[in-house]
Structure 1
Amino acid sequence: MNAIRPAPRIVETANWIFRDGGKVLSVRSHGRDRFYLPGGKIDADETAIEALIREIREELGVMLIEKSIRPLGIHAGHGHNQPSGVIVRMQCFAARFTGTLTPSREIAEMRWLSQRDRHLMAPMGQKITAALFDI
């Protein structure tokens, strides 16, 4: 007799992909061992773009220019440091910004990662940057 498995829990996120040549902007939060694409969870009362703008302002102190935001795709998979059965669904966007990139208190480190540094990223970040930029 087969047991019925519960449906996976899905965590929706909005993430910014900002590339400079062959490097991708990545952040590492305090207490984390891997770098992530900047962004975060979409709250129940906001759109993906609203979440993206809020998260980037909170994490990096810059304001995304809303008119410049364009979708780069949706990627889903098991998130790094997520419990079994949790799927992270990342809506990725490109955008221009105003201000100076300055990591907030929640961000331990901001780094531009190249192809040879990609192993420092969480698995989903590795997968997305490989798919979008062939790095």
Structure 2
Amino acid sequence: MEIDKLAWIHIRERKLLGARSRGNPVCYLPGGKREPGESDAEALVREIREELSIALDPTTLVAAGEFRAQADGKPSGVMVKLTCYEAAFEGVIAPAAEIEEVLWLEYADRERCSAAGRLVLDHLYARDRLD
């Protein structure tokens, strides 16, 4: 079984934007699952608006990689496929919906992240985009 998710990669000052849901100590990349009939762009724009109160510009979406890992909190063998995009946005990033906290992650924060998030951090660090 594979859970199909989308995520937004946003780097500022060599730190990656992460999010933490209420009651969960693990950091994730902002994003989520598609609703039936949604494109990647439609789903990601909706999820980011719901979670961070900002508007992604869908015309600036750029594919940033696909990552597969064991899904957190799921039985062994349940994988998550994280399709990542970068995009410009308007507004001020602020936690909303189930998001309790937004964080700026460095590579040293790797162990605080989900398994898929760790793969993204590894990828960005290897390309000298993170401290």
Say whether the fold is shared (TM-score over 0.5). yes
Q: Which residue pairs with 1:38 in the alignment? A: 30
Q: Would you say the 8 A contact 1:28–1:108 is kept in 2?
A: yes
Q: Would you say the 8 A contact 2:67–2:81 is kept in 1?
A: yes
Q: CA deviation at 1:42?
A: 1.7
Counterparts of 1:8-19 in structure 2, within 5 Å, are 9-19=1-11
Q: CA deviation at 1:47?
A: 1.3
SS in 2 for 1:112: strand
Q: Which residue pairs with 2:84 in the alignment? A: 92
Q: Would you say the 8 A contact 1:119–1:126 is kept in 2?
A: yes
Q: Which residue pairs with 2:49 in the alignment? A: 57
Counterparts of 1:58 and 1:71, CA distance in 2: 21
Q: Which residue pairs with 1:128 in the alignment? A: 120
Q: CA deviation at 1:43?
A: 2.1
Q: Which residue pairs with 1:106 in the alignment? A: 98
Q: CA deviation at 1:33?
A: 1.6
Q: Would you say the 8 A contact 1:14–1:49 is kept in 2?
A: no
Report the TM-score when normalising by structure 2. Answer: 0.90
Q: Which residue pairs with 2:15 in the alignment? A: 23
User: % of aligned pairs identical?
Assistant: 35
Q: Which runs of 5+ in 2 are unaligned?
A: none
2:108 to 109, 113, 116: 116
Q: Would you say the 8 A contact 1:13–1:48 is kept in 2?
A: no
The structure that has the greater radius of gyration is: 1
* Length, aligned pairs only: 127
2:66 to 67, 74, 79: 74
Report the TM-score when normalising by structure 1. Answer: 0.88
SS in 1 for 2:65: strand
SS in 1 for 2:37: coil
Q: Which runs of 5+ in 1 are unaligned?
A: 1-8
